Amino acid sequence: MKVPMVDMLAGYPPIREEVEAAVKTVFNKANFILGEEVAKFEKEFAAHNGAKYCVGVANGTDALRMAFIASGIKKGDEVITSPFTFIATSETISQVGATPVFADIDPVTYNLDPKSVEKKITKKTRAIVPVHLYGYPCDMDALMAIANKHNLLVVEDTAQAFTGKYKLGGRDWKYLGNIGHCGTYSFFPAKNLGAFGDGGAIITNDDKIYETLKQLRNHGSKVRYHHEMEGFNSRLDTVQAAILSIRLKHVEKWTEMRNAVAAKYAEALKGVCVPPVVPANARHSFNYYTIRFDSKAKRDNAQKHLTELGIANQIYYPIALHLQEAYAHLGGKKGDLPVCDAVMDTVFSLPMYPELSDAQIKAVTDAVKDSVKVAA
């Protein structure tokens, strides 16, 4: 049975009419740039996360870049982040003139290890960028404590984790992205809240960061042709905002469905490989479902077997950032971040989307089980 990694069309029929009507409305008004649909979506998205403000931008990469600038991160600063993420997290740190510093990850969560973060702090450290990888919440209690102790900014890369939650201090349920000074999001189609094209957003509770972000996304201007600073052309498209407002109403249900798929995967794969752990103080958004094997040979074999059967799969990420050619100048080498080195060689991700059927789940898990038997 062929199983795709994601199926954007599976969730479309129930919302098709509403989406097509909304798009038609924007077309008829022709308010394509920062139309009222953008402001409406920003309000809804901020409210959903319990945040004061949201600024819609062109994509998740721009969201990171502008969040860094608006927070005051600049040339000469060091920013500590995970080496086990998409390069957007670190390239934007470099692009504002700062230096990405990679700390090691936790062997169970694959997210930043707070102990390693603390060891990387120098006089130049300005910020920590936790990445809630695959939708799994970072240890925000520990990271916020480190940030507070050393007076550092925290920008959460929440691209893979919208609808994920964390019980801060064991008491308050907070949406991911609304714990640090800002949280950044991507609406790339394959994310939890996907647009029908590119899109992104930043949330914050800080008045000054919010005002700066609104300027940055629109060439540094509040009033047309008055530029208090240089900025970017990075606005959330009005058509995408109209679609996102509709999809936002369904996203919590979709995350519940993803969690149900994850529970079925975990049950079927018990004892076969290491499935993701879902802690009691967190809600996983399951943007990706990533499993780990006890050897690279087993992982590679499983991947090969699934691919032969037409079951999509992907390694997120096959080469950690400290080992990428783009960061050769930082001098990172194998062995510097041993946990990350071991994890990247032994994980891979299975198909994950809300509408995955029981038959598809069985086909995927049977294939993984068979591959392990062959490898044993």
Residue from 49, 61, 192, 346 that binds ligand PLP (CB under 6 A)?
61
Q: Which of 86, 110, 134, 136 binds ligand PLP (CB under 6 A)?
A: 86
Question: How far is the C-alpha of 323 from the C-alpha of 29, rounded, in Å?
Answer: 49
Token digits of residue 300: 């590679």
CB of 85 to ligand PLP, least distance (A): 5
Residue 53 interacting with ligand PLP (CB under 6 A):
no
Listed as own residue / partner, the contacts of 274-278 with beta carbons closer than 8 Å and 24 or more positions apart are 276/134, 276/136, 277/108, 277/109
Smallest gap from Cβ 1 to ligand PLP, in A, equals 28
Q: Which of 131, 147, 176, 262 binds ligand PLP (CB under 6 A)?
A: 131
Bond from prior residue into 327 cis (ω within 30 degrees of 0): no
Which of residues 178, 186, 234, 365 is near ligand PLP by CB under 6 A? 186
Question: Per rule CB under 6 A, is residue 88 in the interface with ligand PLP?
Answer: yes
89 binds ligand PLP, rule: CB under 6 A: yes
Q: In Å, how far from its chain's centre is CA 142?
A: 20
User: Candidates 4-12, 81-89, 233-241, 301-309 — which segment interacts with ligand PLP by CB under 6 A?
Assistant: 81-89
Q: Is 157 helix (H, G, I), strand (E, B) or coil?
A: strand
Q: Which is nearer to ligand PLP, 188 or 293 (CB)?
A: 188
By beta-carbon proximity to ligand PLP, the closer residue of 65 and 174 is 65
Sign of the CA dihedral with 169 first, then 173, 179, and 183 last: positive
Query: Which residue, 89 or 349, is less far from ligand PLP as judged by CB?
Result: 89
Mark 200-219 with x for binding to ligand PLP (rule: CB under 6 A) and - for no binding. Answer: x-------------------
Give the chain's length.
376
The contact pattern for ligand PLP, residues 284-323, with x = CB under 6 A and - = no contact, is: ----------------------------------------
Q: Give how many residues touch ligand PLP by CB under 6 A.
A: 15
Contact between 163 and 255 (Cβ < 8 Å) = yes
In this chain, which of 85, 163, 245, 285 binds ligand PLP, going by CB under 6 A? 85
Binding ligand PLP (rule: CB under 6 A), the pick from 3, 56, 59, 283 is: 59
Q: Which is nearer to ligand PLP, 82 or 212 (CB)?
A: 82
Q: Is 182 within 8 Å of 167 (Cβ atoms)?
A: no
CA distance 190 to 207: 31
Structure tokens at 90: 């670190």
Least Å distance, CB 199 to ligand PLP, is 7
Q: Is 113 in the site for ligand PLP (CB under 6 A)?
A: no
Task: Write out the DSSP string of 75-135.
Answer: TT-EEEE-SSS-THHHHHHHHTT-EEEEPPB-TTT-SB-HHHHHHT--TTEEEEE-B-GGG
Give the binding range for ligand PLP (CB under 6 A) out of 94-102, 156-164, 250-258, 344-352.
156-164
Is 188 a binding residue for ligand PLP by CB under 6 A? The answer is yes
Considering only 53-61, 100-108, 118-126, 324-332, which stretch makes contact with ligand PLP by CB under 6 A? Answer: 53-61
Helix 358-375 / helix 296-308 crossing angle, nearest 10 deg: 130
In sequence order, which residues have a C-beta less than 8 Å from that of residue 339 and are 6 or more positions away? 104, 105, 106, 107, 113
CA distance 168 to 159: 20
d(CA 126, CA 219): 25
Contact between 100 and ligand PLP by CB under 6 A: the answer reads no
CA distance 151 to 339: 27
Residue number, 131 or 361, with CB nearest to ligand PLP = 131
Q: Which of 20, 1, 23, 3 has its CA nearest to residue 12?
A: 20
Interface positions with ligand PLP (CB under 6 A): 59-61, 85-86, 88-89, 131, 157, 159-160, 186, 188, 198, 200
